[in-house]
Chains A and B, each alone.
Chain A
Amino acid sequence: MKSVICACISIAISLGISACLGLEFDSYLWGTLRFSVIESLLTAFICVILGFFLSLAIFRQFSSYAKIITAVLTVSTLIPSIFIVIMIINNFGRSGVLTRYLHIPFNNYVYGLPGILYALVFMNLIFMIKTSLNILFNIPDENWKLAQQLDLKAIHLFNIFYKNILKESVKRSSFFIFLMCFSAFTIILALGGSPKNSTLQVVVYEYIYDDFNMKKALAISILQAGIIMALIFLIPQKSNMILDNKGSNFNTNHKYDSKFISSKIMDYSVFIVVIFIFILPVCISILRDLMNINSWSILISPQFISALIHSLITSFFATLISVILGFAILLNIQHHKHMDKIINISTMLFYIIPSFALAVILFEILSPFISIDTTPFILVSLINGIISTSVFIYIVYPGFQQSNNIYGNLSRNLNISWSVRLVKIHMFYINKPLRFAISIIFCWTMGDMNIIALFGNGENTTLAYLAYELMSKYQTDKAELVGLFIFMLSLFIVLIVNYQRGQAK
């Protein structure tokens, strides 16, 4: 009851503030609000069901490859959405490979809700898979031995183990998936097909792009935040597991139920469905890009080399800035009473406020100290770095908190300096999440198109922006190859940075 009242209050407050800021609640706004909720709910639902059964299949049949599968899927969330759209069109569009060869009119469904759902599920499935796999791999071996001794059947295993894991995974990841879809923008505009299929995020962009009306853009963002806050109150939240960074033992010893006929049928059926729906189109797209020999020249062109160097430098500095800022914040406010909530809300804001809007707000704050045209690459790095700090804190905080709980008082009593504390004590607990945070922030800033578009100078362009420029010059094939390169480079970075001896798989 208390949570329902809190949810109602947060919606009422956000509606009130939005109305005060001059937001008109016309049929268009209500329509976008309705569509935002529907597409987010449906995506979260599909991701939860499909993600759970897929992670179960990976866990039972391909547990040795779990790490590499999750790494590949993580990277798919870091590359610019426009490349996902291109992949969908290349396969399911009117002249798409699958539409032509299978003679199925997929193109009738690409634009509108089905196309949007496909793209969003493709991009967000990983969150459910990672969460479920982490829980599955952390089931103690004793439990499996006991199940084997009791000769439990598949149905019993589901009732005893898997049902609870499903519930736990839903609690941990469904809200985050909802949040990601609620703030979707590029996918909605590219695959929406008409203004009827717009989300609140599209309206935020509309106000910034069309009128530079920051007041109304802020009003919509407040409305979004109000709805999200209401959901936080209504849905019981489970610890900081959004980006699931704890890792797992990936204990692959048990094989108890993997040999059940029923498990095999179910697991391989899920695999076949996923292969046909998601993996085949990706493979076709990659092959198509690689076979287009004429486009290869772009990879040795001076523009590409220059864009690659600028991307690496910009991403390096952005990551460095977010690491420094993140540690500075963590070390200074680690004892704050409501640290968990502060981190949750700041990360939530990172996801619901468009990076373009955040960059504009941040620039307004920084404008007395920094000039826009002197060093665009420093500005791009700085803004990307500041924006991704909340993600850094979000990922690193649980490990940081754990080490603080164990050694906090002791190190304070021994008067150990913050630098020694960080290197000698915290690092042991945050090593893994720190690597994860660094790799995803690096890749995320490498794929940024919004901030570079606003603060860049056209000379020091990045890889993502180069791809955008190529597209605007009718050279989609070359743009796709640059997109593929970003994907491969991101995958390489994620695997290398997160690689630890003895965990090659």
Chain B
Amino acid sequence: MKIQLIKHINNKTLSALAVVLFASTSLAHGKKPDVSPLVVYAPSSYTSSYGPSKLLTKLFYKQYHAKIKWIGLDGSTTIITRLKLEGKKSKADAVVEMADPIIQTLNQNSYLKTIDPKTFPAIAIHKKAYDSKHYIPIETGQLAFVYNNKKIKNPPKSIADLANSKYKVILEDPRFSGTGISFLYWVDSIYKKKTTQILQQLMKHTITQKTWDDSYNMFLKGESDFVLSYATSPAYHILEEHNNNYSATMFTHGNLETNYYAGILKTSKHPQLATNFIKMLLSKEGQEIISRKNYALPVIKEKISIDKSLLKYKNTQLSVTPAYIRTNKKRLQRLWLNLK
């Protein structure tokens, strides 16, 4: 009780000090701050102490003198569930890090505000990949299989090679993971009628895990030779652990492009601030922060400095259209569930 009281007093004192400091800083700059913060829903990978949220909050304040209240949820599927639960009562202004299969199958008209792409910096990603007036890409990457290059010297050259090999593989479950369902799009876009055959062959030496986190952790524990991840994943090991033992496959048929998006919610009470937030994400500094903290590639045309390790495994890019994602999701999930 005493501790709580002390904590309470301390909190009050700190809050008062913060208000005084904040007010004096604002007066010094001669600008009136927007008091209510922008509420942003993001995956916990964004908001945890390791994610980009803290740096982005600082940048947003520097650029627009406004605060962000991040609500970290455990993934983009949970964000959607939460939005559906809240309905019109939602106090969120914006969402970030929505993967292709998630945002394409969301009824965007009901949840997301129309945005004008001209308001934002020019995007380098081909328009076909995100043809919508409701969301905008903030980071990109490529799907790839990650492996230990000290153990595997001659990695397979294609998905078919991998399927016909005896290597142990970990895949994310397409029922629960955006990465998992994206893999099915990747196989289907290359092998078309042979998709079932390839998947059946691959599943003979493959185990599935619920999410990307579970899969990658299992891989790091040595449970498989290959794991479905991203071409930028080895960069994490290089930059954080100074470990060059991990590589990503560069298949001859190309690697599937995966984009992550941000959108402004229809329920937003600060639409202008939310627009500024996305502008900040797409600014040079914003893109650098996202790239560095999320190990992803930038999406803007403007040249920014990113670590070379992020581009080490960039391969020929394959992409699928939003319409293809929407119409084929259920078919591919069923196909996968009924594999013999």
A contact set with B: CB distance below 8 Å: 26-28, 89-90, 93-95, 107, 111, 189-190, 192-195, 202, 205-206, 208-210, 212, 303, 360, 363-364, 367, 371-373, 453-454, 456-459, 465, 468-469, 471-474, 476
* Interface: B175 (CB within 8 A): yes
Q: Is the interface of A mostly helix, strand, loop or mixed?
A: helix
| Residues in B1-47 with C-beta less than 8 Å from chain A | 39, 42, 44-45, 47
Contact indicator B73/A458 (Cβ below 8 Å) = yes
For B78, list chain A residues within 8 Å (CB): 453-454
Q: How far is the CB of B76 from chain A (nearest CB, A)?
A: 11
Contact indicator A212/B84 (Cβ below 8 Å) = yes
For B288, list chain A residues within 8 Å (CB): none
For A471, list chain B residues within 8 Å (CB): 213-214, 217
Q: How far is the CB of A94 from chain B (nearest CB, A)?
A: 5
Q: How far is the CB of B222 from chain A (nearest CB, A)?
A: 3
For B253, list chain A residues within 8 Å (CB): none
Report the nearest A residue to B87, measured CB to CB.
Answer: A367
Contact indicator A95/B48 (Cβ below 8 Å) = no
Report the nearest A residue to B101, measured CB to CB.
Answer: A210
For B240, list chain A residues within 8 Å (CB): 474
For B82, list chain A residues within 8 Å (CB): 372, 454
Contact indicator B44/A469 (Cβ below 8 Å) = yes
Q: Bound complex: CA of A316 vs CA of B246, how far in Å?
A: 45
Q: Bound complex: CA of A368 vs CA of B73, how far in Å?
A: 22
Q: Bound complex: CA of A458 vs CA of B68, how far in Å?
A: 13
Report the nearest A residue to B207, measured CB to CB.
Answer: A193
Task: Among B39, B208, B220, point to the contact of A195 (Cβ < 8 A).
Answer: B208
Residues 240-263 of B, flagged 1 when their CB comes within 8 A of A and 0 if not, give 100000000000000000000000
Report the nearest B residue to A196, measured CB to CB.
Answer: B339
* Interface: B81 (CB within 8 A): yes
For B50, list chain A residues within 8 Å (CB): 473
For B311, list chain A residues within 8 Å (CB): none
Q: Bound complex: CA of A8 vs CA of B149, how far in Å?
A: 58
For A95, list chain B residues within 8 Å (CB): 221-223
Q: How far is the CB of B207 from chain A (nearest CB, A)?
A: 4
Contact indicator A303/B222 (Cβ below 8 Å) = no
Q: How far is the CB of A471 from chain B (nearest CB, A)?
A: 6
Q: Among the interface residues A195, A205, A206, A454, which one has the most CB atoms of the partner chain B within 10 A? A: A195
* Interface: B62 (CB within 8 A): no
Q: How far is the CB of A4 from chain B (nearest CB, A)?
A: 33
For A212, list chain B residues within 8 Å (CB): 80-81, 84
Q: Bound complex: CA of A437 vs CA of B331, how far in Å?
A: 47
Contact indicator A210/B176 (Cβ below 8 Å) = yes
| Residues in B199-234 with C-beta less than 8 Å from chain A | 203, 206-210, 213-214, 216-218, 220-224
What are 30 contact pairs spanning A and B, CB under 8 A?
Answer: A28-B338, A94-B224, A95-B223, A107-B223, A189-B176, A189-B209, A189-B210, A190-B214, A194-B206, A195-B173, A195-B336, A202-B175, A210-B77, A210-B176, A210-B333, A212-B81, A364-B85, A367-B89, A371-B91, A453-B74, A454-B82, A454-B85, A458-B42, A458-B70, A458-B71, A458-B72, A459-B70, A469-B44, A472-B45, A474-B216
Report the nearest B residue to A192, measured CB to CB.
Answer: B208
* Interface: B49 (CB within 8 A): yes
For A94, list chain B residues within 8 Å (CB): 168, 222-224
For B214, list chain A residues within 8 Å (CB): 190, 471
Q: Bound complex: CA of A367 vs CA of B89, how far in Å?
A: 9
For B85, list chain A residues within 8 Å (CB): 360, 363-364, 367, 372, 454
10 further contact pairs, Cβ within 8 A, besides A89-B223, A367-B85, A373-B39: A189-B209, A189-B210, A371-B91, A372-B90, A458-B42, A459-B47, A471-B213, A472-B45, A472-B48, A474-B240
Q: How far is the CB of B82 from chain A (nearest CB, A)?
A: 7
Given contacts A90-B221, A205-B176, contact A195 B337 (CB under 8 A): yes
Q: Bound complex: CA of A472 vs CA of B73, how far in Å?
A: 13
Given contacts A95-B222, A190-B210, A473-B50, contact A454 B81 (CB under 8 A): yes
Contact indicator B48/A476 (Cβ below 8 Å) = no
For A453, list chain B residues within 8 Å (CB): 73-74, 78
Contact indicator A458/B44 (Cβ below 8 Å) = yes
Q: Bound complex: CA of A295 vs CA of B185, how far in Å?
A: 39
* Interface: B86 (CB within 8 A): yes
Report the nearest B residue to A32, measured CB to CB.
Answer: B337
